[in-house]
Structure 1
């Protein structure tokens, strides 16, 4: 199979590339490296079945050629991470929506209709207060505080584009709503909580929990994430489908910090940082985020291979190895109790 991955040098995209290359597929990655890293692709660079282009999907001149070559396209290229979303609110909207629209317009114009898997997000559910978030729920966007919700708007628009192009042009589409993916190669630079907590615990620094820490999330190992996505995309029916992908184990940020300290054998203290200090912008955080996985399990029989503890243990070991002999010039975020 020929696989094109936009944003393929990123955290999830590089794991997708590994999955398909291990299977014997040919993989073409395009990434502008604004958040992705060429180092994520280093294990594949010498493989004849792998190709990389450093380019922006919005302007990449080879998009039509690559789309005509592909049997399956994973569209992951986007501005991601809370820090970047807040710092670049207009770019989030312009890049995330325009890149998705250009991809679908190119596919529709080409005649050859590869399957397109669009990476969406649990953020599209907004401030739902239900215990489980189901795919048939109405989507919502908060307009009360802040620009963080521009990301939600962009992902809702991407879903609408995917489903509209599928209906009008017959493009096989899978919309994958990711819930807090974690694992090897993820960095905390753009606001991802688990690598940040792990780094602080390993260093013995205060673990900075934003807000009161009672907000909950459900974390899924990236290797489970890409396996589930592939299973959904590989099902016999190619009718347009929206599906949650994640893990339905729910944990609060306070409990997550305590669990990481326990697994790391760390005596780090937990302190709470107001959102305004953490992000430079105050906003209402989503309080619960737990996926209903009935659709995923019914269609694929999917079972998770990695527990949260499994992934944390691996990340702690990796972080310790990375920090060994390299401690210098690190300045932690000063903690002020809220």
Structure 2
């Protein structure tokens, strides 16, 4: 299989590269390295079945040619991370929407129909308080939407484009809404909580919990996520659908902080930082977010193998090896 991964030097994209090269597929990555890192894929640069192009999906001149080569496309390229989303609200909208529509247009023009998987986000559900979030629920966008919601709006636009191309041009597109993926290569630089807590705890620093820490999330290890993405993308009955991808079982951010401290054996303390100070502006968080996985489970029998504790232990061990932390 020939696989194109946009944003493939990023956190999830680079694990998709690992996964498909292990399967013996040929993989082409395009990434402008604005949030991705060459370090994430450096081990593959000499692999005979791997090719990397540093370019922007919005302007990449070879897009049409490579789309015509691909059997499957994962569109992971986007401006991501809370800090970047708040700092660059215009770029979020322009890049995320234009990049996705340009890719879908190229697929339509290529005269052949690769499997296409478009990465969306649980952010599109907005400030809902339901116990489980289903793909067929009404979505909430607050009036006079603050910059935080620009990311959700951009992903909703991507979803609308994807489903429209599927209906009008019969392109085999599936949209996946990802829920709080964590694991190796994720960086805390743009607001990701797990790598930030691990780094702070190993350094003996205070773990900074934004807000009151009662907000909860369902965390999924990236190594499970990429298997689910592969299996969903391969399913003909997933075409034209939106599918939640994640795992059940929520953990509060406050509990996560104490869990990391316990597993590192650190004497770090927890400090609660108001959102206004953490983000430099008014910020509305979501009290909890957990996916309804009925649709996912109807498409694949795979169930996540990594528990949150196993993921944390793995990340802690990796950080100690990399930085020589005790």
Decide: shared fold, TM above 0.5: yes
Show the counterpart of 1:334. Answer: none
String of CA shifts for 1:214-257, please: whole Å, max 9, x gaps.
Answer: 11111000010000111111124353121111111101111111
Q: Alpha carbons of 1:236 and 1:104: their partners in 2 closer, same or farther (altered >3 Å)? A: closer
CA drift at 1:147: 0.6
Show the counterpart of 1:318. Answer: 318
Spell out the pairing of 1:32-71 with structure 2 (5 A cutoff): 32-71=32-71
Show the counterpart of 2:249. Answer: 249
Show the counterpart of 1:101. Answer: 101
Residue 209 of structure 2 corresponds to residue 202 of structure 1: no
TM-score of the two chains, using structure 1 as the length reference = 0.94
Show the counterpart of 1:330. Answer: none
Show the counterpart of 2:289. Answer: 289
Residue 245 of structure 2 corresponds to residue 277 of structure 1: no
Give the Cα separation in 2 of the matches to 1:254 and 1:27: 39
Give the Cα separation in 2 of the matches to 1:276 and 1:145: 17
Residue 154 of structure 2 corresponds to residue 154 of structure 1: yes
Give the Cα separation in 1 of the matches to 2:145 and 2:95: 22
Backbone CA RMSD of aligned residues = 1.2
**Structure 2: gaps spanning 5 or more residues:** none
Q: Look up the SS of the partner of 2:51 in the other structure.
A: strand
Give the Cα separation in 1 of the matches to 2:245 and 2:189: 23
Give the Cα separation in 2 of the matches to 1:83 and 1:64: 32
CA drift at 1:266: 1.3
Give the Cα separation in 1 of the matches to 2:258 and 2:108: 49
Show the counterpart of 2:265. Answer: 265
Q: Look up the SS of the partner of 1:73 in the other structure.
A: strand
**Structure 1: gaps spanning 5 or more residues:** 328-338
Q: Look up the SS of the partner of 2:304 in the other structure.
A: coil
Spell out the pairing of 1:85-96 with structure 2 (5 A cutoff): 85-96=85-96
Q: Look up the SS of the partner of 2:41 in the other structure.
A: helix
Show the counterpart of 1:29. Answer: 29
Q: Is the 8 A contact 1:145 1:283 kept in 2?
A: no
TM-score of the two chains, using structure 2 as the length reference = 0.98
Give the Cα separation in 1 of the matches to 2:154 and 2:125: 13
Give the Cα separation in 2 of the matches to 1:248 and 1:78: 25
Give the Cα separation in 1 of the matches to 2:279 and 2:152: 17
Q: Look up the SS of the partner of 1:92 in the other structure.
A: helix
CA drift at 1:42: 1.1
String of CA shifts for 1:6-46, please: whole Å, max 9, x gaps.
Answer: 00000000000110010010000000000101111111111
| Number of equivalenced pairs | 326
Spell out the pairing of 1:208-219 with structure 2 (5 A cutoff): 208-219=208-219
